[in-house]
């Protein structure tokens, strides 16, 4: 079985994440959406809300599991017996950042990182941009899946 994890904070889930997840499930037998917990980080949405956004969005996708984890991503991969990490790339800066992480993860374990380029229609979307739009009362409905569109 080819199992991959798609790690992130998903604060909140965006249409960019959605695009990578939908395309990723065509490549793997199972995709674990892994919500990382970082006590140092201040989140806009609490963990259970973020998890619920993802569970509801993909409730009809049998190949998707949603889990949370603390610590190193490679340790979580070992725990769930994943052989791949799935990551999305929006731009050259993402590539440089993700490349360094992939090399580090590879040096710590046998894990392979698979990169997918985001689609052109979602390549500008990031969770931090969405949070900024929400904070300032802007219309963020075209940036997130329907379930994330909270009043």
Which token pair is 10? 């998903």
Q: What is the mean pLDDT of residues 6-33?
A: 97
Is pLDDT larger for residue 68 or for residue 110? Answer: 68
The annotated binding site for ATP is made up of 9-10, 17, 88-90, 98, 122-128
Residues 120-131: tens digit of each pLDDT? 999 999 999 999
Residues 88-108: tens digit of each pLDDT? 999 888 899 999 999 999 999
Q: How far apart are CA 7 and CA 24, in angstroms?
A: 12
Does the pLDDT of residue 150 top 80, yes or no?
no
pLDDT at 40: 83
Residues 47-87: tens digit of each pLDDT? 999 999 999 999 999 999 999 999 999 999 999 999 999 99
Structural domain boundaries of the chain? Answer: 3-148
Give phi and psi for 6, each to the nearest 5.
-120, 95
Q: Are 118 and 20 in contact (CB under 8 A)?
A: yes
Whether the predicted model's global pTM rises above the 0.85 cut: yes
Q: How far apart are CA 91 and CA 89, in angstroms?
A: 6
pLDDT at 134: 94
pLDDT at 117: 95
Does the pLDDT of residue 151 top 70, yes or no?
no
**How large a percentage of the chain has pLDDT more than 70?**
99
CATH number for the region 3-148 comes to: 3.40.50.620
Positive or negative torsion for Cα 10, 24, 68, 149:
positive
The annotated binding site for substrate is made up of 9, 41, 73, 87
- Kindly report the average pLDDT of the chain as a whole number: 95
Which token pair is 35? 């919500």
pLDDT at 63: 98
Q: Active-site residue numbers?
A: 17, 41, 90, 127
């Amino acid at each position: 079985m080819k199992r991959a994890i798609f790690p992130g904070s998903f604060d909140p889930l965006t249409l960019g994440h959605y695009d990578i997840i939908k395309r990723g499930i065509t490549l793997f037998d199972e995709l674990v959406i892994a919500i990382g917990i970082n006590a140092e980080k201040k989140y806009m949405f609490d963990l259970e809300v973020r998890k619920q956004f993802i569970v509801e969005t993909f409730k009809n996708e049998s190949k998707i599991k949603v889990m949370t984890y603390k610590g190193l991503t490679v340790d979580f991969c070992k725990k769930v017996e994943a052989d791949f990490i799935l990551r999305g790339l929006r731009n050259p800066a993402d590539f440089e950042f993700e490349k360094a992480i992939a090399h580090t993860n590879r040096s710590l374990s046998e894990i392979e990182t698979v990169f997918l380029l985001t689609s052109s229609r979602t390549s500008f979307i990031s969770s931090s941009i969405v949070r900024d739009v929400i904070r300032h009362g802007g219309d963020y409905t075209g940036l997130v899946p329907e379930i994330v569109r909270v009043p």
